[in-house]
Amino acid sequence: MKDFDLRRLVRPDLLELPGYVPITPTDVLAERYGIAPDEILKLDGNENPYGPSPKALEAIASERRYHIYPDPDQRRVRDALARFLDVDAERIVCGLGSDDLIDLILRALIGPGDGVVNCPPTFGMYPFSTEIAGGRVLEVPRREDFAVDLGAIEREADRAKLIFLASPNNPTGNRLTAHEVERLLSLPLLVVIDEAYIEFAGRGHERASLVPLTLQHANLVVLRTFSKWAGLAGLRAGYGVMSPTLASILMTIKQPYNLNVAAGDAMVASLEDVPLLLERCCAIAGTRERMFAQLSDIPWLQPYPSEANFILCRLDGVDAVEAQRRLAKRGIFVRYFDTPALRNHLRISVGLEEHTPRLIAALREIGAELGR
């Protein structure tokens, strides 16, 4: 039918849903700004500047079974993760990045109108995926220091089924405290903790992770990803650790082949190269601390302490959009935020050590151009 109106068949709430704002690939940025790709300094996506493990790259290159569907039960990957995490494989579900696990959990638990607690400023996929699932987002803003408002969360608990929290939080970089976690787990909610950046929380990241608590609390899910610490953002490789009951349900409802062969190979190979990858994470954390000190010396920037691979900065007396635009003209790309809690803020990913001088010099030049 030539005049068929497809929109009338679509859920009305989805027609009004604003899309998630993703980051732009390097090749597109290079073409858009007329800059050579190798001159791009991409500090907007929290990607790992070191890239994948050599063992992961070798595993992808040597694979010869790309014409065969992947194992729907993810056995090899789940077994490798079980050894790495010291938990049973039946507690693990893998997917296309943490985003896939977020979507699976929502599909399993949330029906039309069911409440999901979201604590902004935080990762935008939590409310975005909730609304796609037909759920109702219950906003509980963080405090001025970006800590969660436990009292407000507790008041919303009876109206919700689950809560998403990132630790370290994106984009603010702060981690949940043991006291906060204890209070959250006492609530009648599924508590989903996203640890995408936990490996950058210093050498004690193993102790910082909440994975061991999943053995004691059936209402805890911990999400992890290989995008950041293992440099596999382009392969979309993530997983969740949870109760065997929930894991069984997610394995039942997931797309059968949601973890592709290349991603699975790269995950297993990365777990055979953990010392190198964690050494890189420590290097990034060290670069972060030195970058923080240099950002703090710029009068119109107020960086916030971070335990992730990025630093959030408030701009004083300089428009963040203008600063972002001027950085882009210099081939440096950062993330801009324009939300109620983050007016005039930029998030800057940590690159290699040699990237910091170029960033700081550009920021000082921009300050001088704008009379700051």
Tell me the pLDDT tens digit for each residue of 329-353: 999 999 998 788 899 999 999 999 9
pTM over 0.95: no
Residue 32 confidence (pLDDT): 78
Which of 257, 268, 255, 264 has its CA nearest to residue 69?
257
Q: In this predicted structure, what is the pLDDT of residue 311?
A: 98
Does an H or E element contain 267, and which?
A: helix 261-270
Q: Is the pLDDT of residue 29 over 90?
A: no
Give the pair of three-digit tokens for residue 314: 């408030």
Task: Give the pLDDT band of residue 1 (cuts 50, 70, 90).
Answer: low
6-51+275-369: CATH number = 3.90.1150.10
What integer pLDDT is reported at residue 207 of this predicted model?
64
Which pLDDT tens digit goes with each residue over 78-135? 999 999 999 999 999 999 999 999 999 999 999 999 999 999 999 999 999 999 999 9
What is the distance, to the nearest Å, from the Cα of residue 119 to the centroid of all Cα atoms in its chain? 15
pLDDT score, position 203: 57
Residue 361 burial (CB count, 10 A): 12
What CATH topology corresponds to 55-273? Aspartate Aminotransferase; domain 2 (3.40.640)
Lowest mean pLDDT among 14-28, 135-149, 214-228, 333-347: 14-28
Mean pLDDT of 153-179: 96
> Does the pLDDT at position 270 exceed 90?
yes
Quote the pLDDT of residue 206: 57
Q: Show Cβ contacts of residue 275 under 8 Å, excluding neighbours closer than 6 positions.
A: none
Give CA separation, 29 vs 187, 231, 233, 249, 328, in Å: 45, 20, 18, 41, 9
Q: How far apart, in whole angstroms, are the C-alpha atoms of residue 161 and residue 163?
A: 7
Q: What is the pLDDT of residue 204?
A: 54
CA 32/CA 151 separation, integer angstroms: 47
Please tell me the predicted confidence (pLDDT) of residue 98: 94
Confidence grade of residue 205 (pLDDT, cut at 50, 70, 90): low
- Average pLDDT in the 25-34 region? 76
Mean pLDDT, to the nearest integer, of 180-193?
97
370 has pLDDT over 60? yes
Which whole number is the average pLDDT over 290-312? 97
Domain ranges of the chain: 6-51+275-369, 55-273
Q: What is the pLDDT of residue 6?
A: 78
How far is residue 237 from each of residues 137, 231, 234, 288, measured CA to CA in Å?
A: 26, 10, 8, 24
Distances (CA, A) of 130 to 59, 165, 166, 180, 272: 36, 14, 15, 23, 35
Rounded to an integer, what distance in angstroms lies between the CA atom of residue 18 and that of residue 275? 41
What is the DSSP-derived secondary structure letter of residue 96? S
pLDDT over 80 at 202, yes or no: no
Asked if pLDDT for residue 66 goes beyond 90, the answer is yes
**H helix or E strand, kind and range, residue 221:** strand 220-225
Average pLDDT, integer, range 33-38? 80
Tell me what pLDDT residue 94 has: 98
